[in-house]
C-alpha cells in the first residue's frame, strides 16, 4: 500500500503531461485543402491581419464621427413654366382648378443636389453658390435625419460661396482649421455624391494655392486626390482630426466623374467670406480700378536684369489707381512691401484690403522705379450680390 502512494503521483503527472501535449496538437490549424483536394503547405497560410505593423493610422472613424454630423445634404428646387405662366395667372389657375391643375399647365420642377457644412450653432451653413443659385426652394437634410427649409443669407459668386440658414436647435458645428495644411497631408472629403447619401472618401493634399484655373474670379484652391463627384459641391474637406480645412467646390474631369483632381476653397477664405456676409450681407472687397497681366520677360521687357511683377494694361478713368498716378504700361513690382509675382496674387491681395486704406506700390516706368501711394476703393457693388440681413 505504501508503494502505491509513492507511484501514484508520478502516474498522475505523466497523464497530465500527455494530455497537455495532445491539447497543443489540437490547437495547430490543419493545412487547408485546395479545390482539387491537395493539401496546401502550412507555410503558405497568412494571417488576415498583418500584425507586424508598428505604427500608422488604421482608421479615420474618429475624424468622421466628429465631422459627419455637421455635413448636410442640400436639395434645391427650381420651378419653370412650360407655357411661361405669370404668378398672377398661376394663382388664378389654382383658384379655378384647385390642386388639380392640368399637367400641361403645371410648373415644371428642376431638382439639383449638393452639400453644405454647418459652421455656426445658430444654423448658418456654408455651401457653394452654384448649389443654391436660382433655387426657389432649399431643403437641408441633416445627418441625424432631420430636415428643414433654408433661406439664403448672402452669396459671393466670385468665390462660389454662399451662406444659408436653417431654424433648428442643437446643431453640430464643424470648426475651421485656418493654418498648418501641407502637401501630403491625409484628408477626407464628405458629401452627397450623385444623391446616394453621405459618403466619405480619402486622399491627400496634392497642392495648395492653386490659381489661374478660370473657375472663380478669386482663386486660392487646395487640390486633392480624394474622390469628389457631382453632389459633393459644398461639402467638407477635413483633416484626420475632423477639422474643416476647406469646402469642396470643383473637379477637373473629362468624363464627369472623379479623376483624382479635385479643388476645395481653403478654410481661411471661407471664414473671411462667412464673416463678411454675416456682418454686411455681402462681401466687401478692395479695388484699384486697373487691368493687369503677368510678365513675359522674353518679350515684354528689354532689360539686362529681368524683373518680376505685373504690367498695367488699362487704367479706369478717375479710379483709385488713376488718381494715384498709375499709367498704362507701368509695371507693379510690389505693393505694401509684398513682391508681386502674378496678376492673381495682386488681385487677391487688394481684395482683402479695406476700402479707404492706403498702400504703397513700387512701380517700374521707363526703366526707373517709383514709389506711389494708392488709396484703395470698394469694389463696385454690381460685381457682387447683396442680400439683407434678417432683423436689420
For the annotated catalytic residues, the residue numbers are: 130, 160, 233
Please provide the DSSP assignment of 241-303 as one string.
TS-EEEEEEEE--SSSS--S-EEEEEHHHHHHHHHHHHHHSS---EE--EEEEE--TTTS---
Euclidean distance between CA atoms 69 and 131, whole angstroms? 20
Cα–Cα–Cα angle for 128, 131, 134, rounded to 5 degrees:
120
Instruction: Report the DSSP pairing between strands 147-156 and 338-339.
Output: unpaired
Radius of gyration of the chain (CA): 32
CA 335 to chain centroid: 30
Helix (H, G, I), strand (E, B) or coil at 118: strand
H-state helical runs in 79-172? 87-97, 129-132
Retrieve residue 283's grid coordinates.
462681401
Closest CA to 126 of 140, 136, 112: 140
Are the CB atoms for 194 and 232 separated by under 8 Å?
no
Retrieve residue 12's grid coordinates.
498522475
Helix (H, G, I), strand (E, B) or coil at 2: helix
Amino acid at each position: 500500500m505504501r508503494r502505491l502512494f509513492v507511484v501514484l503521483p508520478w502516474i498522475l503527472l505523466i497523464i497530465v503531461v500527455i494530455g497537455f501535449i495532445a491539447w497543443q496538437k489540437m490547437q495547430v490549424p490543419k493545412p487547408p485543402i485546395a479545390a482539387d483536394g491537395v493539401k496546401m503547405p502550412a507555410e503558405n497560410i497568412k494571417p488576415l491581419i498583418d500584425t507586424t505593423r508598428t505604427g500608422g493610422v488604421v482608421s479615420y472613424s474618429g475624424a468622421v464621427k466628429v465631422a459627419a454630423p455637421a455635413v448636410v445634404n442640400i436639395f434645391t428646387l427650381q420651378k419653370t413654366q412650360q407655357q411661361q405662366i405669370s404668378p398672377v395667372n398661376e394663382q388664378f389657375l389654382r383658384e379655378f382648378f384647385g390642386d388639380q391643375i392640368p399637367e400641361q399647365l403645371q410648373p415644371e420642377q428642376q431638382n439639383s443636389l449638393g452639400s453644405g457644412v454647418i459652421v455656426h450653432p445658430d444654423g448658418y451653413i456654408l455651401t457653394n453658390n452654384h448649389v443654391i443659385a436660382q433655387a426657389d426652394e432649399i431643403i437641408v437634410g441633416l445627418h441625424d435625419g432631420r430636415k428643414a427649409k433654408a433661406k439664403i443669407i448672402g452669396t459671393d459668386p466670385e468665390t462660389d460661396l454662399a451662406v444659408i440658414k436653417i431654424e433648428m436647435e442643437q446643431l453640430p458645428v464643424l470648426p475651421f482649421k485656418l493654418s498648418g495644411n501641407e502637401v501630403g497631408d491625409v484628408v477626407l472629403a464628405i458629401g452627397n455624391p450623385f444623391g446616394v447619401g453621405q459618403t466619405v472618401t480619402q486622399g491627400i493634399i496634392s497642392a495648395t494655392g492653386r490659381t489661374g484655373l478660370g473657375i472663380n474670379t478669386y482663386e486660392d484652391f487646395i487640390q486633392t486626390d480624394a474622390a469628389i463627384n457631382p453632389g459633393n459641391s459644398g461639402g467638407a474637406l477635413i483633416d484626420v482630426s475632423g477639422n474643416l480645412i476647406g469646402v469642396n467646390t470643383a473637379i477637373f474631369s473629362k468624363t464627369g466623374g472623379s479623376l483624382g483632381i479635385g479643388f476645395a476653397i481653403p478654410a481661411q477664405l471661407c471664414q473671411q467670406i462667412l464673416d463678411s456676409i454675416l456682418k454686411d450681407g455681402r462681401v466687401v472687397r478692395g479695388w484699384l480700378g486697373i487691368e493687369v497681366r503677368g510678365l513675359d520677360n522674353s518679350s515684354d521687357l528689354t532689360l539686362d536684369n529681368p524683373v518680376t511683377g505685373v504690367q498695367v494694361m488699362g487704367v479706369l478713368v478717375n479710379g483709385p489707381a488713376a488718381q494715384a498716378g498709375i499709367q498704362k504700361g507701368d509695371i507693379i513690382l510690389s505693393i505694401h512691401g509684398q513682391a508681386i509675382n502674378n496678376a492673381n496674387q495682386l488681385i487677391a491681395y487688394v481684395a482683402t484690403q479695406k476700402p479707404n486704406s492706403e498702400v504703397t506700390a513700387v512701380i517700374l516706368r521707363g526703366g526707373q522705379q517709383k514709389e506711389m501711394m494708392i488709396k484703395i476703393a470698394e469694389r463696385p457693388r454690381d460685381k457682387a450680390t447683396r442680400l439683407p440681413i434678417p432683423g436689420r
